[in-house]
């Protein structure tokens, strides 16, 4: 699924609640606690995306494991931070690999090939 479609807010609160397996009032509570931030229509109605539904399912998973909403918020914040750090690490790793490749290319360019005859003369001179 492409990212644009995944983040497109299309579900009304009743459908989102059903997809997440919770009551619509629970979604309002999650919003008040800062766990989810649905889009709003011009008239102020909530609209949820597939990304929001996935988040709601993660919240349900964590609460079913015994976390309270403050704990859920902390876990979600930490998961987001880990994802951010992993992306940064991946970016820096790619930059490091690119730098190493450039050094190797430059090194190969700077090498002066030694003719085989010179190697033979060198070996003879050393007694080899």
What region does 66 belong to: left with phi over 0, alpha with psi -120 to 50, or beta? left
More confident residue, 117 or 38: 38
Could you tell me which residues are beta bridge partners of residue 47?
39
Q: What is the pLDDT of residue 101?
A: 87
Instruction: Please compute the mean of the pLDDT values over residues 103-114 and round it to a whole number.
Output: 74
DSSP conformation letters of the chain: --HHHHT---B-HHHHHHHHTS-HHHHHHHHHTTS---EE-TT--EEB-HHHHHHHHHHHHHHHTT--HHHHHHHHHHHHHHHHHHHHHHHHHHHHHHHHHHHHHHHHHHPPPPPHHHHHHHHHHHT-
Q: What is the pLDDT of residue 84?
A: 98
* The overall pTM is greater than 0.75: no
User: Do residues 13 and 58 touch, judged by C-beta distance below 8 A?
Assistant: no
pLDDT band at 104 (very low <50, low <70, confident <90, very high): confident
- Long-range contacts from 36-40, C-beta under 8 angstroms, 24+ separation: 38/9, 38/13, 39/9
The predicted-structure confidence for 47-94, as pLDDT tens digits, reads as follows 999 999 999 999 999 999 999 999 999 999 999 999 999 999 999 999
Q: What is the pLDDT of residue 128?
A: 61
Q: Check: CATH 1.10.1660.10 for 1-66?
A: yes
- Mean pLDDT for the chain? 90
Given a cut of 70, whether residue 46 has pLDDT beyond it is yes
User: Do residues 32 and 42 touch, judged by C-beta distance below 8 A?
Assistant: no
Q: Which two tokens stand for residue 43?
A: 């008239």
């Amino acid at each position: 699924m492409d990212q644009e479609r995944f983040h497109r807010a299309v579900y009304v609160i009743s459908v989102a609640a059903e997809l997440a397996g919770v009551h619509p009032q629970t979604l309002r509570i999650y919003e008040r606690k800062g766990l989810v931030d649905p889009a709003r229509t011009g008239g102020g109605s909530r609209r949820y995306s597939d990304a929001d539904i996935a988040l709601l399912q993660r919240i349900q998973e964590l609460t079913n494991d015994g976390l309270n909403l403050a704990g859920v918020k902390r876990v979600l914040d930490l998961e987001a931070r880990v994802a951010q750090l992993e992306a940064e690490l991946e970016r820096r790793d790619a930059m490091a690999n690119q730098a190493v490749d450039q050094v190797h290319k430059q090194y190969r360019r700077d090498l002066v090939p030694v003719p085989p005859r010179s190697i033979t003369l060198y070996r003879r001179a050393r007694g080899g």
